[in-house]
């Protein structure tokens, strides 16, 4: 039975209340044992805001909880330890050990201050520890923490990583303003926050105390400047991280291909500034030792560790018997190297083909360029010889780009949404790795389990396929419009 609003909204004692201004409201008398049902025009908006509020609340609570809980882990900030040691060496004026790689011929330290420091806080019987592995000039990042004892410095760096992660999400949100249905703006913001703060590569980086969040934050700042047409500044900021990991140089190549010379010039200046700082820090000999070590690592067979999520990592998991529970190099046959290089070349080829039409010649130049940048991120992660799981913080950008694209594209279908969900599910957690503490030997010996170690790699491949198809679709629609004479604006 439906009772009209006028019968219930009077001023007498039987009145149930008043409807929101301008909203039509009716009340359905409940059947026995059922809740009453209110029907209003703003129910959908309230549902959107409720969902958004709960998503943001959970994401913030989870992020805060995980950050605090990481401190309890026995190997909390294990990757931060050599960074802190590097800062201390700078504070002492003893820069020689930063680039003393000749003793081991690799980035592993078998003696000296890095091994001693590692023994002090982690595994006293370990025969080796991680050396300083970046261009020497970047050690100055950690100089301000040199005066703190390692446990306190690690907690400060955890806080810095958390702030950088939050800042990256904020920059991506700000650089990509929502122009669709305004009622969905809050809902979309909530999903961006949720995707970012519950993304395990970000949490993994915080736990280990690595610098992936710092690198990604600098990229997001560069992207934010790019979206505001500050090309030279965007390039300058981007150039600051190119010598740190090298693979961001692919962005510089991309913008050179697009003839954005202002951005390329800024990137060159940023790179030269970092190289100058490094030269002043350890001199020619120290920098030469570093680059020789990088070259030697690139020529090595590969590292089959469980958290290597590149093409090389997948091949090492599936087609070698290398130890997936350690982080040592293994020799690989020539055929393996040929297969890896062929797959990398094929990846670069299909991506370049999708990018052949300039963003300005598509129906949506901004989205087309974002898809381009997302594809470049995919190439640099999959093609790299070593892509540790926490490097996948970069995939937050493609995830957000795909989320927006599939949300507004008129051609989005259920299969695309399902593939995005599957890819995200494979990436957002490490999966089978969770059984390593009690099944390390099984993971090493059982071929299927070895293959499943590449779960995040499979997720990244799924995202790359979606990005590739989406970029082709934007160009194809424009091409079709031109043939039919339909304006693309």
**In this predicted structure, what is the pLDDT of residue 18?**
45
**In this predicted structure, what is the pLDDT of residue 259?**
95
Average pLDDT over residues 382-405: 96
- DSSP summary character for residue 30: P
pLDDT of residue 112 exceeding 60, the answer is yes
Per-residue confidence band for 34, with pLDDT thresholds at 50, 70 and 90: low
**In this predicted structure, what is the pLDDT of residue 33?**
54
pLDDT of residue 24 exceeding 50, the answer is no
Lookup: tokens for 252: 């510089």
158, 111 contact by CB (below 8 A): no
Three-state DSSP at 95 gives coil
User: What is d(CA 381, CA 360) in angstroms, rounded to the nearest whole number?
Assistant: 26
Residue showing tokens 């091409």: 479
**In this predicted structure, what is the pLDDT of residue 44?**
81
Average pLDDT over residues 428-445: 88
Three-state DSSP at 308 gives strand
pLDDT of residue 482 exceeding 70, the answer is no
Q: For 459-476, how does the pLDDT look when each residue is reduced to its tens digit (9 = 90+)? A: 999 999 999 999 999 887
Domain segments of the chain: what residues?
2-41, 300-489
Q: What percent of the chain has pLDDT over 90?
A: 72
**In this predicted structure, what is the pLDDT of residue 29?**
52
**In this predicted structure, what is the pLDDT of residue 30?**
55
pLDDT of residue 28 exceeding 90, the answer is no
Q: What percent of the chain has pLDDT over 70?
A: 88
User: What is d(CA 417, CA 391) in angstroms, rounded to the nearest whole number?
Assistant: 24
User: What is d(CA 30, CA 302) in angstroms, rounded to the nearest whole number?
Assistant: 68
Lookup: tokens for 214: 């710092």
Which residue would you say has higher pLDDT here, 13 or 160? 160
pLDDT of residue 293 exceeding 90, the answer is no
The rounded mean pLDDT for the chain is 88
Lookup: tokens for 256: 């050179």
- pLDDT winner (highest mean) among 55-64, 121-130, 428-437: 55-64
Mark 417-442 as b/e (b = at least 16 C-beta within 10 Å). Answer: eebbeebbebbbbbbbbeebeeeeee
**In this predicted structure, what is the pLDDT of residue 59?**
96
**In this predicted structure, what is the pLDDT of residue 477?**
57
Q: For 174-225, how does the pLDDT look when each residue is reduced to its tens digit (9 = 90+)? A: 999 998 788 889 999 999 999 999 999 999 999 999 999 999 999 999 999 9
Handedness of CA 262, 267, 158, 60 (dihedral sign): positive
User: What is d(CA 88, CA 100) in angstroms, rounded to the nearest whole number?
Assistant: 16
**In this predicted structure, what is the pLDDT of residue 39?**
54
Average pLDDT over residues 290-306: 85
Query: 2-11, 32-41, 50-59, 304-313: which range is least confident on average?
Result: 2-11
Average pLDDT over residues 119-126: 93
Q: For 245-284, how does the pLDDT look when each residue is reduced to its tens digit (9 = 90+)? A: 889 999 999 999 999 999 999 999 999 999 999 999 999 9
């Amino acid at each position: 039975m439906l009772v009209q609003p006028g019968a219930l909204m009077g001023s007498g004692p039987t009145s149930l209340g008043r409807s929101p201004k301008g909203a039509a409201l009716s009340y359905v008398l409940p059947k026995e044992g059922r809740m009453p049902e209110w029907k209003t025009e703003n129910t959908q908006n309230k549902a959107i805001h409720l969902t958004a509020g709960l998503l943001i609340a959970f994401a913030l609570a989870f992020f805060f909880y995980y950050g605090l809980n990481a401190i309890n882990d026995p190997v909390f900030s294990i990757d931060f330890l050599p960074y802190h040691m590097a800062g201390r060496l700078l504070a002492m004026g003893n820069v020689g050990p930063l680039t003393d790689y000749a003793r081991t011929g690799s980035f592993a330290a078998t003696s000296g201050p890095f091994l001693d420091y590692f023994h002090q806080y982690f595994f006293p019987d370990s025969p080796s520890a991680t050396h300083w592995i970046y261009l020497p000039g970047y050690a100055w990042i950690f100089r301000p923490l040199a005066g703190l004892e390692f446990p306190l410095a690690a907690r400060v760096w955890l806080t810095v990583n958390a702030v950088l992660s939050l800042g990256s999400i904020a920059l991506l949100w700000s650089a990509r303003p929502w122009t669709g249905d305004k009622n969905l703006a809050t809902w979309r913001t909530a999903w961006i926050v949720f995707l970012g703060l519950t993304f395990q590569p970000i949490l993994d980086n915080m736990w280990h105390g690595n610098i992936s969040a710092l690198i990604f934050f600098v990229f997001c700042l560069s992207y934010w400047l790019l979206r505001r047409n500050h090309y030279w500044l965007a390039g300058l900021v981007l150039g600051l991280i190119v010598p740190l990991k090298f693979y961001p140089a692919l962005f510089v190549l991309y913008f050179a291909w697009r003839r954005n010379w202002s951005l390329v010039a800024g990137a060159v200046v940023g790179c030269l500034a970092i190289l100058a700082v490094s030269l002043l820090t350890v001199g020619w000999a120290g920098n030469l030792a570093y680059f020789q070590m990088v070259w030697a690592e690139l020529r090595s067979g590969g590292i089959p560790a469980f958290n290597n999520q590149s093409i090389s990592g997948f091949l090492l998991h599936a087609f070698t018997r290398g130890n997936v529970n350690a982080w040592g190099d293994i020799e690989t046959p020539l055929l393996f190297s040929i297969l890896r290089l062929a797959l990398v070349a094929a990846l670069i080829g299909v991506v370049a083909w999708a990018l052949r039409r300039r963003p300005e010649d598509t129906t949506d130049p901004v989205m087309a360029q974002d898809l381009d940048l997302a594809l470049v991120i995919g190439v640099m992660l999959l093609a790299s010889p070593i892509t540790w799981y926490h490097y996948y913080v970069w995939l937050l950008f493609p995830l957000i780009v795909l989320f927006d694209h599939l949300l507004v594209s008129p051609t989005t279908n259920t299969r695309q949404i399902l593939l995005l969900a599957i890819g995200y599910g494979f990436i957002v957690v490490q999966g089978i790795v969770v059984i390593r503490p009690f099944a390390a030997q099984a993971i090493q010996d059982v071929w299927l389990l070895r293959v499943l170690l590449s779960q995040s790699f499979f997720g990244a491949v799924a995202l790359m396929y979606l990005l590739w198809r989406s970029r082709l679709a934007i160009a194809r629609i424009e091409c079709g419009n031109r043939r039919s004479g339909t304006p693309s604006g």
